[in-house]
Amino acid sequence: MIGDRFRVTGRVAVITGAGRGIGAATAVALAQAGADVVISARTEDQLATVAREVEAAGRRAVVVPADLSDPAAAGLAAAAVEAFGRLDIVVNNVGGALPRPFLATTPRHLENAFRFNVVVAHSLTQAAVPHLLASSADGGTGSVVSITSAVGRAAGRGYLAYGTAKAALAHYTRLAAADLAPRIRVNAIAVGAVATSALDIVLTDDTLRGRMERATPLGRIGDPADVAAAVVFLASPAGGYITGKIIEVDGGIDRPNLDLGIPDL
């Protein structure tokens, strides 16, 4: 049955930034598809809520509260193997950078954005590789899915550090896929505007929300479950012939749908 190809029964996944939003939805979706999960974020209370949802789906969750830096991210791979004896799926979801006008974006802002969005993802992925290879010995493939952004390919004012870092993560995905084929697949999802806490100011303002919806071909703000469904697809046997690709889950936009109103110089 085709539905069986979307199952990840008995697999183990690590998800960063899993306390809320896309990360939380992804953890629950993977659990509903059959995986046990290691979830990490800064806020333990949020992780505990997600863990309860995972357990309600009949799977196990290990909670690792952490303000993710390179070493902390790398340690998540070992935590998965210690808890569950294997690691099959890595979801690099943690990331972000505040918008700033060009002249207010310092070299340090670029460095920090690159570290948070790319270096942390690499640290976890690199640490996971030996375990993903070991788990792929049963005939499957390990899977890495990173969350990048439509702003990594579409230009808009104010997104210099964030967009540059997400563009780097997208190409990192292609390069890592070449390095790790054929036993580990590496893909990414370029998301558009999604209803997470980062958009609270928009979601609670009918004027701003309406403007964004009108600027989106599909006419709505994305839901975290839209992205989580794509993660399950890429991580499961259904996506087994896909690697080095960036899947766009963005409502059809070709430019940022949130205009920050930054004037000409």
Residue with tokens 């029964």: 9
What are 208's strand-pairing partners?
none
Q: Which residues contact 100 (CB under 8 A, 6 or more apart)?
A: 109, 158, 160, 161
CA-CA distance, 183 to 188, in Å (whole number)?
A: 17
Residue 56 identity (one-letter amino acid): A
Nearest to 160 by CA among 149, 170, 150, 151: 151
Q: Which of 159, 162, 172, 241 is catalytic?
A: 162
- Examine the residue annotation and report whether 162 is marked as an active-site residue of this protein: yes
Helix/strand/coil for 32:
helix
What are 62's strand-pairing partners?
38
CA-CA distance, 170 to 188, in Å (whole number)?
A: 7
Residue 186 has which token pair? 């590496």
Catalytic residues: 162
